[in-house]
Amino acid sequence: MSEVTVVGAGPVGLAAALAARHHRLPVTVLEAHPEHRPRPGSRAIFVHRATLDLLDAIDPGLGRTIAHEGLVWRTRRTLWRGRPVHTRTYHGPADRIPFTSLPQTVVEDLLRTACHRAGAEICWDQPVTDIRTTPRAAELITAGGYCHRTRYVIAADGARSTLRTRLGIPLKGTTAPTGFAVADLTGEAGGLTPARVFHYRHPAAGGRNVLLVPFAGGWRVDVQCRDGQEAATWAATAARWLPDLLPGARPDDLSWSSAYRFHQKVAARFTDPHHRVLLAGEAAHLLPPFGARGMNSGIADAVAAARAIAEATPQALAGCARARRAAAHANVRAAASALAHLQAARPLRRTTQHAAALLAPRVARAGRWLDRAPFGPPLHTVHY
């Protein structure tokens, strides 16, 4: 019987395995897909400072390596109908990178290398189809009928988590009707200076909100649409509208496009009745990408789960589940605030935004609010 089994070899599962090895626990990772499967899209591109610190704590130097593989943009710009309303360029110590921006695939590659170096075993092409828990152990059943017995499980098997479903743990929350089209571009977009740019009511996007974010090797473009159907149409025609929204971009630069919805859902419980399984990442919560709370909070889940398993007491495991669920709810509230601002469904919200845009050239506070509000409350108010 193994000590710890992690289900899922995405960034959260790999971080969980690495954290388990930090605590000198034998660990096996079961991943449903083959090792060299295609992984389209940049996915989660923003790694917070707090996450870099967590990774450094479980594997010294890893956070620093990830930071230097990514891009640190230091300018934020916000526009209203094409007119600038806020610009901020910030500076800090060269050895204290505030965040890094790079494709999720690169983060996964670095985590996987660290796991191999630390002695974590990764078993590919091993989809888990069922789970049973007892007061002493858990049994994982794979698609081939193999029964894998283990003392503890960290479930990091994503939004459609088989483990969460088989344990009878529902996701509770909402899915917003608003849809978003997202596109990745490779290259530097005609030498455009790297900066996070948010457009309220972009004139070239028919008055839709548009977010531009650079990352190492390319740019991410998000367009707020009315609903999922419109978002799917925009995603399918991305090559046509990209040059109008990202100056210097060429249709040939498009590497991936998709549509998504804002999910704000949290698992009813983060552990089973026997405290043999802890949920982490999207197996535990679904969060919108604005504010970059998904992968970052998932890695925090993973590190906390490994620490609780190392303590190996019911109190530690139950306490971890409660604390991480509370953190997920805090992130959901922050996401709800951001979504309400983006939707501007009520006349008062629209009027407030318009008034802030008119005041911004003379009142700095109005511009700062327009710049910050689409991403929810400031990061220091949310526990990752």
pLDDT per residue over 38-57, tens digit each?
888 888 999 999 999 999 99
pLDDT of residue 382: 44
- What mean pLDDT, rounded, does the chain reach? 93
Residues 219 and 189 sit within 8 Å (Cβ to Cβ): yes
Give the phi and the psi of residue 206 in degrees, each rounded to 5.
Answer: 65, 30
Q: What is the pLDDT confidence band of residue 376, given thresholds at 50, 70 and 90? A: confident
pLDDT(218) > 60 = yes
pLDDT of residue 80: 97
pLDDT(380) > 50 = no
Stretch 144-159: mean pLDDT: 94
pLDDT of residue 107: 97
pLDDT of residue 319: 98
Among left, alpha and beta (phi > 0; psi -120 to 50; other), residue 82 is left
182-215 exposure pattern, b = at least 16 Cβ within 10 A, e = fewer: bbbbebbbeebebbbbbbbbbeebeebbbbbbbb
| Extended strands (E) in 103-191 | 121-123, 128-133, 138-142, 147-155, 171-186
- Find how far residue 269's CA is from the centre of its chain: 20
Q: Quote the percentage of the chain above a pLDDT of 70.
A: 97
Residues 299 and 327 sit within 8 Å (Cβ to Cβ): no
pLDDT of residue 93: 67
List, in order, residues 6 or more apart from 175 with CB less than 8 Å away.
Answer: 261, 262, 263, 264, 265
Rounded to whole angstroms, how far apart are CA atoms 168 and 162? 10
pLDDT of residue 144: 83
Q: What is the pLDDT confidence band of residue 339, given thresholds at 50, 70 and 90? A: confident
pLDDT of residue 384: 56
pLDDT in tens, 263-318: 999 999 999 999 999 999 999 999 888 778 899 999 999 999 999 999 999 999 99
Domains of the chain, each with CATH number or no CATH: 2-70+99-173+264-337 (3.50.50.60), 176-262 (3.30.70)
Rounded to whole angstroms, how far apart are CA atoms 332 and 60? 31
Stretch 330-339: mean pLDDT: 89
Residues 33 and 17 sit within 8 Å (Cβ to Cβ): no
Rounded to whole angstroms, how far apart are CA atoms 221 and 214? 9
- Provide the whole-model pTM: 0.94
Angstrom distances, CA of residue 115 to CA of 13, 16, 19: 10, 10, 9
Stretch 24-29: mean pLDDT: 97
Angstrom distances, CA of residue 318 to CA of 8, 124, 276, 278: 22, 30, 10, 9
255: three-class secondary structure by DSSP: strand
